Every structure is written in structure tokens, then in C-alpha cells.
């Protein structure tokens, strides 16, 4: 069995002497008054003077500490309790010593004699300045990677960068981005031309004092030359630049020189924000704390920060570009404002989502003084949703031109969506989601004061009556557009009184502010645009994941004196009677002779076809709106077809003649037959006593 050998007093003294002379860490023996009794000589960072000039003095009198009272209290606690202190980080420097301070790790243990009496403290001091700098740089880089890139906005990304690096890496941070990049455009290749403007995207400074800036955030100007800023974006190399009264290039930039002097900045790092050989902007970091000076390790960190930030800015730029393109496409595919009509007033609200949704709306004229109202949206976001919206809108407008009933139109529109979805199915994996959408399509007929509505996976409209009451119409809804299976689309016809307001909307509006919509619509006497604005104000500024759309339509009846109708006998003599009715009515309306003569020819051809090929009953109707419409209705559902008659043919030229004489013509089917109509542009009345048009 081994026995411990006792150490003699001489050996103990020799061991202690070797420890204090050769220990790689700083050792101090402090008495009960925290005076330095002995100190190791192998750590000149702690005592550049000889030990004899330090011993006998209090620990806090020899060193400037980051928290002297706190350190002294901890050492007193070790003396009293005997509990050791381990690895306390403290900022320290020799009193009066030049240069930056040091970070030290302090550990302490109580010293006792053989009788257990306390006579002092043994403190171990380790210089961890470089270790803590590395940790601090890693924290900065981690903070940048965590915080920068949270938004898909160029300016917001730059502001995130400033918040991440101040004050740990810089006392002042400035981010300038190429102005084209801030707008989502392609960045210029390097080197950056002197004339290329940059936008001050973000500025940040530590502390609560007033922020001195050479140029405000949002300012756009080219970088001054010759300066480190311009040179950095010329050769794409970072620079560590000392700042002082003798810095020569500051004379070329008086505003920046004044801001630098006012801030007390003493060193600057400039590093480019570049990606794949293109220039996105410039990051400028300043130090104002004299105790903290930049070195090459800080430059390396700044470059790493810039690399990550450049990638985030480019992602935001690409999103901004796509968002801008999507909104541009959406604005172009939305049907233009319809010309003012006699029977329908419209106003709309469109709040695009942050990502650029696929919502659309329209109000356009149909034959017979009717108006089509449509609101819908397609699944997806960005350019793909906007282009899909364009395809659906084009198909909707084309199908509406065929005078289809709302349910029939949605059925054919669904066939179009399915066809488009099948085309997408063969695209490579990772391409946009399959085409799906919703739609509400309505046709308002002012002559019968009815509105026929069909829905495809879309919420029904709200109707506000002139008495202030509102209700959501309970209508059947078919499947969303693009669905292969589901119930058939159904059309419902509702009576609409004069002065009622129909509100068509996207689902996102109802989910956010259903009650507000009803409260606003209760005041139907207000201008429609005021109602739309009021709904917008009640929505607030919350982020929407899809477009918010509201289309309002105030309905009116058609003026009774601007429409005339006659039943006709299904005999050849009815053609002459129809011409007489037409001539007399147009004279009463004050229509010029040339238009009246053309209209008689059109009526003659339409009535002849109805009597020859149609079935009773036969009706003629003239509608005087912003166009002059002739309609002939009969009980045969077979539609006439435009033919190009040959030279030897005796007939077949009727519809061809009508097509040449009119602005537009078509066939409208109903359950009891068909209506063939033709429209002419109506010039202003020339008769002095004629009535003005409605």
C-alpha cells in the first residue's frame, strides 16, 4: 500500500516559487484587505511593471475594471463563505495603460492556514481577450444569419442587417444599395460605374444620442470619388480605413466628413455587397469607441456578413421584381373601367396581397342594356397566379360575348380551367400548383330589374336594399373552377329594386370584416367609392395572404321612354309593319335619317329571318342607350349562322349585311326561344326638338 510522503517546508516554498514564476496564467495572492501580496511574473499583460511596484496595493487600485464594486464584492464573498468563484469575465486594464482593455477570466479560492484561519484569497486571472473576440464574432455572424432575411423586402433586409451588427460589430452601420436593386431590377455588373446611383437603405447607431447622418435614409445619389466607398465598389475589395484629422480623402466629401467628425468615428470598414459578379450595394461600419479598434479579423467578419446579406438582398430583389411583374400583369388583365351606363354604377376596392395574389374583377356591357359583374381569384401567388388570372379573365370575357347564361358560362369556364390544369400537369416537377379558382358571375337586366347569379366555389354577394337592410343572398354554389367532379353549376335569379347595391367580394374580405361590410352597405345613399373607402379603412393595415377585392354595383331601372317593343304577326306583311314601327320610333327619339335608314334595313333582315326560319311568337324591341339596339325574338332555339353567299345564290346575305352595318351582333338564347340582336353606334341627336339620350 502506497503512502503519501509529506512535503517539507523548503519543498513547499520551492514549489510555490516555481508556480508563481512559471504558471501560464496570472496568479495573485490577496490578503484579507484585498491587497496584492504576491503576483506571478509570467503574465506581463497584467503587470508590465516589476512585481515590487504592485505588491501592497489594493487590487482595485492597480486595475481599471469593468465593474470594480461587483468584483470586490465577489472576492469578499469568497473570503467569508469559502465558496470558490470560477471563470468570472471582467474587463480590465492597468491603470493609466494605453491601448484597448483586455477581457480576463477571474477565478478565486479562499486561503487558510493549518489551523483553518483565513488569511487571504488566491486569484487566477486568465487573459481571454482573443477567445472572447472570436466568440463575439461568431455571435454577430449567428445573429446576422438568424435575423437578416426575415422579410422579402430590400430596404427591410438592410434594416435587419443594421440591427444585427450594431453595437457588437459597429457603433455606426450604413447600408447603401444600388437604386435599381431597391426597385427589384437586375443589378449592374462590376465594376460599378461612377454615375450609378445608390439609395441610402438603412442607418443605425448605438446609444440613444442624436443620429448624425451625412445623408438621410432614402436619399439617392452616386458615391463620391475618389473615396474608399467608390474604390470598394470598383475593385470589390474590402477596406480597413483609419479615420482622423489627417485623412486626406475626407476633403472630397464634406457632408460625410462632418458626420464622421461629429460622431467621433476613428476607424471604418467598407465591404461590397456582391453576388455572382454583380454589385448590389455597400456596407460601411464605423467604430467610435476608442477602446475598440478594428483589425483584420473584423474585416473577415464583415466580409462574411456581407456575403450572407447580399444573398438575402438578392432574394428580396427577385421577390420585389416578381411581385411588381405580378401586380403589373394583374392591373393589365383586369378589365378596364366600363363606360358609364344608364342603369348601373360601379366602384371597386382592390388591396393586393404582399405576395401578389390572383384576384380579379370586372364590370362590362352585354347586349340588351345588360351588365355583367364578375369577381374571382385563382390559387397561387406571384407571376404564375397573375398569368393564370389573365387566362381566366380572357376566357370569361370571350364567353360573356356569346351571351351565355351565368351557369352555362361557368360550366364552360370550368372546362377551360380543366384544360389549362391538364397542360400544367405535364410540366416538370416543382412548377406551380394545379389550377384552381373561384368565381361569382352575375348579369343584371335593367329591363326586368333582375340579376341572375351563378357561383363556382365563391361566396354569394351581399345585397343592400334602399331601406338600409342588408342580406347575404342564399344561393347554390357549384364546385371551384378546375374541378372535374361536383354538382352542376346553378343560376339563380333575384329581383333587384331601384337603388339597391350589390356587393361582390373575395373570401378574404368577408373573413376579415364581415360585420363592417354590412354596416357600411347599410348607407346605400352614399357614393359607391366612399363606401369602398370606408370598408378599406375598417380593414386596417393587417397583412393579407390573398387579395382583398370588393366590387359594388348600384342598380337602376331602365328609362321606360327609351325602350319600345311590338308583337309581330308571323306573316311576310309583318316586315313592312316592323319598318314602320321603327321609323316612327326613331323619329320620336330624334335619330338622324342615315342611322334611321340603316336601322330599318337591319330590322327588315332580322324580322324576315324570324318569320322565314323561326316560330311564333315574334317580337321586335328597340333599346336606345349609348348604342341603338335592335332585337327580334322568336320561339325557335336554332341560331342563325353567318354565311358568305355565292354570286348565284338568291339568299343567305341577311346576316352578312347586318354584320357590315352594325357595331356588333349576336344571338341570345332563353328557355322559350332565341333573340337575335344588333347594335349600332348612336350619334348625337340633330333634331332641335329631340330629347337628350339617357
pLDDT at 161 over 70: yes
Residue 456 lies in a domain: yes
Q: How confident is the model at residue 647 (pLDDT cuts 50, 70, 90)?
A: very low
Domain of residue 195, CATH code: 3.30.450.40
pLDDT at 4 over 60: no
* Pairwise pLDDT comparison (653 vs 386), residue with the higher score: 386
Q: Would you state the pLDDT for residue 126?
A: 79
pLDDT at 429 over 60: no
Q: Are residues 283 and 158 in the same domain?
A: yes
Q: What is the percent of the chain where pLDDT is above 90?
A: 33
Task: In whole angstroms, give the CA distance from residue 197 to residue 181.
Answer: 10
Q: Which of 27-36, 92-101, 613-622 shows the highest mean pLDDT?
A: 613-622
Mean pLDDT along residues 251-267: 84
pLDDT at 336 over 70: no
Residue 329 lies in a domain: no
* Pairwise pLDDT comparison (190 vs 158), residue with the higher score: 158
Q: Are residues 438 and 479 in the same domain?
A: yes
**Which residues have a Cβ under 8 Å from the Cβ of 360 and sit 6 or more positions away?**
330, 333, 334, 374, 375, 376, 377, 389, 392, 393, 549
Q: How confident is the model at residue 406 (pLDDT cuts 50, 70, 90)?
A: very high
Q: What angle do CA 389, 394, 400 make, to 5 degrees?
A: 125
Q: Are residues 106 and 146 in the same domain?
A: no
Task: In whole angstroms, give the CA distance from residue 54 to residue 691.
Answer: 113
Q: Are residues 69 and 174 in the same domain?
A: no
Task: In whole angstroms, give the CA distance from residue 7 to residue 142.
Answer: 52
Q: Would you state the pLDDT for residue 556?
A: 93
pLDDT at 574 over 70: yes
Q: Are residues 575 and 676 in the same domain?
A: yes
Among 95, 112, 127, the domain boundary falls at 127
Among 293, 323, 353, the domain boundary falls at 323
Measured in degrees and rounded to the nearest 5, phi and psi for residue 45 equal: -60, -35
Q: Would you state the pLDDT for residue 256?
A: 85
Q: How confident is the model at residue 43 (pLDDT cuts 50, 70, 90)?
A: low
* Pairwise pLDDT comparison (512 vs 69), residue with the higher score: 69
Residue 497 lies in a domain: yes
Average pLDDT value for the chain: 82
CB of 555 closer than 8 Å to CB of 344: yes
Mean pLDDT along residues 421-440: 70
Mean pLDDT along residues 471-492: 90
pLDDT at 495 over 50: yes
Q: Would you state the pLDDT for residue 243?
A: 87
Model pTM? 0.63
Q: What is the pLDDT of residues 292-327, one digit of tens each?
A: 788 899 999 999 999 999 999 998 888 777 766 666
Q: Are residues 307 and 349 in the same domain?
A: no
Task: In whole angstroms, give the CA distance from residue 444 to residue 338.
Answer: 14
Q: How confident is the model at residue 692 (pLDDT cuts 50, 70, 90)?
A: very low
Q: Are residues 46 and 155 in the same domain?
A: no
Residue 104 lies in a domain: yes
Q: Are residues 522 and 639 in the same domain?
A: no
Q: Would you state the pLDDT for residue 90?
A: 77
Q: Are residues 507 and 598 in the same domain?
A: no
Angle between helices 507-521 and 528-539 (to 10 degrees): 120
Q: What angle do CA 106, 109, 110 make, to 5 degrees?
A: 140
The arrangement of strands across the sheet holding 627-634 comes to 563-568, 618-624, 627-634, 673-681, 664-670
Task: In whole angstroms, give the CA distance from residue 124 to residue 274.
Answer: 47
Distance between start and end Cα atoms, the chain: 122
pLDDT at 527 over 60: yes
Q: Would you state the pLDDT for residue 693?
A: 41
> Could you tell me the three cell numbers for 74?
465577489
pLDDT at 202 over 60: yes
Domain of residue 108, CATH code: 3.30.450.20
CB of 380 closer than 8 Å to CB of 431: no
Measured in degrees and rounded to the nearest 5, phi and psi for residue 394 equal: -65, -45
Q: How confident is the model at residue 650 (pLDDT cuts 50, 70, 90)?
A: very low
Q: What distances in angstroms separate CA 373 from CA 8, 391, 502, one per listed residue? A: 106, 18, 10
Domain of residue 668, CATH code: 3.30.565.10
pLDDT at 690 over 60: no
Task: In whole angstroms, give the CA distance from residue 501 to residue 464.
Answer: 5
CA Rg value for the chain: 42
> Could you tell me the three cell numbers for 409?
358560362
Residue 17 lies in a domain: no
* Pairwise pLDDT comparison (209 vs 556), residue with the higher score: 556
Q: How confident is the model at residue 383 (pLDDT cuts 50, 70, 90)?
A: low
Q: Would you state the pLDDT for residue 14?
A: 67
pLDDT at 542 over 70: no
Among 555, 588, 611, the domain boundary falls at 555
Total domain count for the chain? Answer: 4
Q: Would you state the pLDDT for residue 333?
A: 58
Q: Are residues 412 and 475 in the same domain?
A: yes
Q: What is the percent of the chain where pLDDT is above 70?
A: 82
Q: Are residues 582 and 547 in the same domain?
A: no
Task: In whole angstroms, give the CA distance from residue 80 to residue 467.
Answer: 86
3-12, 242-251, 347-356, 620-629, range with the lowest pLDDT: 3-12
Residue 2 lies in a domain: no
Q: Are residues 544 and 564 in the same domain?
A: no
Mean pLDDT along residues 381-397: 76
Mean pLDDT along residues 129-149: 86
Residue 219 lies in a domain: yes
Q: Would you state the pLDDT for residue 251?
A: 79
Residue-range definition of the domain harbouring residue 610: 560-681
**Which residues have a Cβ under 8 Å from the Cβ of 413 and sit 6 or more positions away?**
392, 395, 396, 399, 439, 441, 456, 481
> Could you tell me the three cell numbers for 404?
351565355
Residue 250 lies in a domain: yes
Q: Which of 680, 501, 528, 672 is nearest to 594 (CA)?
A: 680
Amino acid at each position: 500500500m502506497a503512502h503519501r510522503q509529506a512535503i517539507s517546508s523548503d519543498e513547499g516554498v520551492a514549489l510555490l516559487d516555481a508556480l508563481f514564476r512559471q504558471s501560464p496564467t496570472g496568479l495573485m495572492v490577496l490578503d484579507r484587505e484585498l491587497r496584492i501580496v504576491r503576483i506571478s511574473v509570467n503574465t506581463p499583460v497584467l503587470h508590465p511593471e516589476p512585481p515590487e511596484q504592485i505588491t501592497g496595493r489594493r487590487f482595485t487600485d492597480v486595475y481599471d475594471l469593468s465593474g470594480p464594486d461587483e468584483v470586490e464584492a465577489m472576492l469578499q464573498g469568497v473570503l467569508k463563505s469559502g465558496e470558490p468563484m470560477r471563470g468570472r469575465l471582467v474587463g480590465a486594464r492597468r491603470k493609466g495603460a494605453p491601448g484597448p482593455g483586455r477581457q480576463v477570466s477571474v477565478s478565486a479560492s479562499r486561503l487558510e492556514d493549518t489551523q483553518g484561519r483565513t488569511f487571504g484569497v488566491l486569484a487566477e486571472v486568465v487573459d481571454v481577450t482573443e477567445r472572447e473576440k472570436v466568440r463575439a464574432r461568431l455571435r454577430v455572424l449567428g445573429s446576422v444569419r438568424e435575423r437578416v432575411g426575415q422579410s422579402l423586402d430590400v430596404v427591410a433586409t438592410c434594416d435587419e442587417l443594421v440591427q444585427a451588427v450594431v453595437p457588437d460589430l459597429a457603433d455606426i452601420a450604413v447600408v447603401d444599395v444600388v437604386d435599381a436593386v431597391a426597385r427589384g431590377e437586375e443589378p449592374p455588373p462590376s465594376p460599378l460605374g461612377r454615375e450609378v446611383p445608390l439609395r441610402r437603405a438603412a442607418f443605425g447607431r448605438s446609444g440613444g444620442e442624436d443620429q448624425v447622418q451625412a445623408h438621410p435614409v432614402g436619399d439617392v445619389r452616386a458615391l463620391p470619388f475618389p473615396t474608399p466607398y467608390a474604390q470598394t465598389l470598383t475593385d470589390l475589395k474590402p477596406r480597413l480605413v483609419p479615420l482622423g484629422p489627417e485623412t486626406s480623402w475626407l476633403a472630397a466629401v464634406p457632408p460625410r466628413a462632418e458626420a464622421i467628425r461629429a460622431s467621433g468615428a476613428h476607424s471604418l470598414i467598407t465591404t461590397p455587397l456582391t453576388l455572382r459578379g454583380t454589385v448590389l450595394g455597400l456596407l460601411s461600419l464605423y467604430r467610435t469607441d476608442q477602446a475598440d479598434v478594428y483589425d483584420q479579423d473584423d474585416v473577415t467578419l464583415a466580409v462574411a456578413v456581407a456575403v450572407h446579406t447580399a444573398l438575402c438582398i438578392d432574394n428580396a430583389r427577385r421577390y420585389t421584381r416578381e411581385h411588381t411583374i405580378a401586380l403589373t400583369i394583374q392591373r393589365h388583365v383586369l378589365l378596364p373601367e366600363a363606360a358609364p351606363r344608364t342603369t348601373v354604377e360601379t366602384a371597386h376596392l382592390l388591396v393586393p396581397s404582399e405576395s401578389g395574389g390572383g384576384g380579379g374583377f370586372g364590370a362590362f356591357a352585354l347586349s340588351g342594356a345588360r351588365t355583367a359583374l364578375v369577381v374571382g381569384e385563382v390559387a397561387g401567388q406571384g407571376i404564375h397566379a397573375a398569368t393564370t388570372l389573365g387566362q381566366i379573365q380572357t376566357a370569361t370575357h370571350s364567353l360573356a360575348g356569346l351571351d351565355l347564361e351565368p351557369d352555362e358560362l361557368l360550366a364552360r369556364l370550368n372546362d377551360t380551367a380543366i384544360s389549362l390544369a391538364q397542360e400544367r400537369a405535364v410540366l416538370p416537377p416543382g412548377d406551380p400548383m394545379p389550377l384552381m379558382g373561384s368565381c361569382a358571375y352575375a348579369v343584371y337586366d335593367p329591363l326586368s330589374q333582375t340579376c341572375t347569379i351563378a357561383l363556382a366555389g365563391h361566396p354569394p354577394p351581399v345585397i343592400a336594399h334602399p331601406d338600409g337592410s342588408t342580406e347575404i343572398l342564399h344561393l347554390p354554389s357549384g364546385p371551384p373552377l378546375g374541378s372535374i367532379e361536383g354538382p352542376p353549376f346553378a343560376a339563380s335569379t333575384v329581383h333587384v329594386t331601384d337603388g339597391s347595391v350589390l356587393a361582390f367580394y373575395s373570401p378574404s374580405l368577408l373573413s376579415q370584416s364581415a360585420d363592417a361590410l354590412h354596416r357600411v352597405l347599410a348607407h346605400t345613399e352614399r357614393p359607391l367609392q366612399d363606401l369602398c373607402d370606408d370598408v378599406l379603412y375598417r380593414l386596417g393595415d393587417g397583412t393579407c395572404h390573398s387579395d382583398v377585392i370588393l366590387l359594388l354595383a348600384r342598380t337602376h331601372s331602365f328609362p321606360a321612354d327609351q325602350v319600345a317593343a311590338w308583337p309581330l304577326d308571323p306573316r311576310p306583311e309583318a316586315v313592312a309593319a316592323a319598318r314602320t314601327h321603327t321609323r316612327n320610333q326613331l323619329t320620336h327619339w330624334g335619330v338622324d335619317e342615315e342611322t334611321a335608314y340603316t336601322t330599318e334595313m337591319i330590322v327588315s333582315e332580322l324580322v324576315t329571318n324570324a318569320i322565314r326560319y323561326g316560330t311564333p311568337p315574334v317580337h321586335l324591341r328597340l333599346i336606345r342607350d349609348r348604342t341603338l339596339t335592335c332585337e327580334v325574338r322568336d320561339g325557335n332555339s336554332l341560331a342563325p349562322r353567318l354565311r358568305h353567299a355565292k354570286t348565284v345564290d338568291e339568299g343567305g346575305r341577311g346576316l352578312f349585311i347586318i354584320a357590315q352595318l352594325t357595331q356588333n351582333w349576336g344571338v341570345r338564347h332563353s328557355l322559350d326561344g332565341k333573340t337575335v340582336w344588333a347594335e349600332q353606334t348612336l350619334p348625337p341627336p340633330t333634331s332641335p326638338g329631340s330629347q337628350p339620350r339617357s
